[in-house]
Amino acid sequence: MIPTAWYLLLAAILFSIGAGGVMLRRNTLVILMCVELMMNAVNLTFVAFSHELGSMTGQVFVFMIMTVAAVEAAVGLAILVELYRQTQSVNIDDFDSLKG
């Protein structure tokens, strides 16, 4: 029986890796991947608490987050493809047309 805190610490580590990646990387595709990793870390927390507290609510939440993640990936990548058509770049520093 593994303590729930270990799962929570693992999820915190994964979330930090994702957050660090979002700040560190300039390639928009990799940033989207890092966002997915952060969502996964949150899902792991939900499932760990669901197991700890003996309730199914956490797993239902994870189900909803997966739906949102799928939609987010599809819309995000469509926006990225459209941006690439206009700027011929995936570097996030090149997307500054809202800067004015």
Partner 1 sequence: MEAILFFIFGGLAVVGGLAMVFNKNAVHSALFLLLSMTMIAGLYVLLSAQFIAVAQIMVYAGAIVVLILFVVMLLGAELGEIIPQWLTVRNGVMVLLALIFLTVSGTAVYDWLYSTQPVAGTVTDELIAQQGSAELVGQSLFTQYLLPFELASILLLVGIVGVVMLGGWRFVQHRERGK
User: By CB under 8 A, what part of segment 77-96 binds partner 1?
Assistant: 77-82, 84, 90-91
> CA 18 to CA 15: how far, in whole Å?
5
> What is the CA 87 to chain-centroid distance, rounded?
25
Q: From the CB of residue 50, how many other CB atoms can be counted at a distance below 10 Å?
A: 17
Tokens of 100: 């004015």
Tokens of 13: 């580590």
Please say which residue, 66 or 99, places its beta carbon nearer to partner 1: 66
Shortest CB 39 distance to partner 1, Å = 9
Q: Write out the residues near partner 1 by the rule CB under 8 A.
A: 1-10, 12-21, 23-27, 29-30, 32-34, 36-37, 40, 43-44, 47-48, 50-57, 59-60, 62-64, 66-71, 73-75, 77-82, 84, 90-91
